[in-house]
Amino acid sequence: MRIRDLIARCIQRMREGACATCDNQAYCPAGRWQSALSLVEENAPRRTQANPFGDFLERLTGWIAQSPATDDCFAQRVENAIVPLLASGDATAEQVARQLGLSRQTLFRRLRNEGTSFQQLLDAKRRQLAIRYIGMEGQPIKVVAWKLGFSGPAAFTRAFKRWTGTSPGRFTIEPRARLS
């Protein structure tokens, strides 16, 4: 019997409410999830239903929805997609949208719904990394310009002055700020 058939058989048994009489309870992934969910939901009373499959799915989706991993905003996902694309110069809206499995228009619309834009996120991430690379790590301007996907040191220097009000060569961070 193939795995797919075993899973289908288990799902059917769960729908029929036959979990209590199942001889595979010790190995059942649904049973494991149910016990894990009951630990998570200590304060919630366990419901008894004629359909344990529906109860299981409802509690599982509730647990996943409350999981911290799903609390990330869309803008954070976009920033995470931007970082590896910077050095290659491919940090474009089209490329990021492709990585996230979206159209460019959907990317723009979802960012607009969160009150930001792709360009704002790209500039903010470049600024954050530039300050870290220049101020904290003391990397050469040429290297930082390349890492952040600028066309050259001059373009990077102009952007850095716009962000910080000073040139990268004159930029320093207070010693206390370096530790934090």
Give the least confident one: 104-118, 121-135, 162-176: 162-176
Which of the 8 DSSP states describes residue 150?
A: -
Domain borders along the chain are: 3-70, 74-179
Token pair of 22 as six digits: 């199942």
Residue 1, pLDDT score: 46
- Alpha-carbon distances of 106 from 45, 71, 117, rounded to whole Å: 41, 20, 12
- Round to whole Å and give the CA distance between 11 and 17: 10
> Per residue in 11-31, pLDDT tens?
677 767 776 666 666 556 555
CA angle 120–164–131, rounded 5-degree value: 80
- Tell if the pTM clears 0.75, that is, is over it: no
Question: Binning pLDDT at 50, 70 and 90, where does residue 129 land?
Answer: very high
> Per residue in 87-127, pLDDT tens?
888 899 999 999 999 999 999 999 999 999 999 999 999 99
Give the least confident one: 38-47, 95-104, 140-149: 38-47
What class does CATH assign to 74-179?
mainly alpha
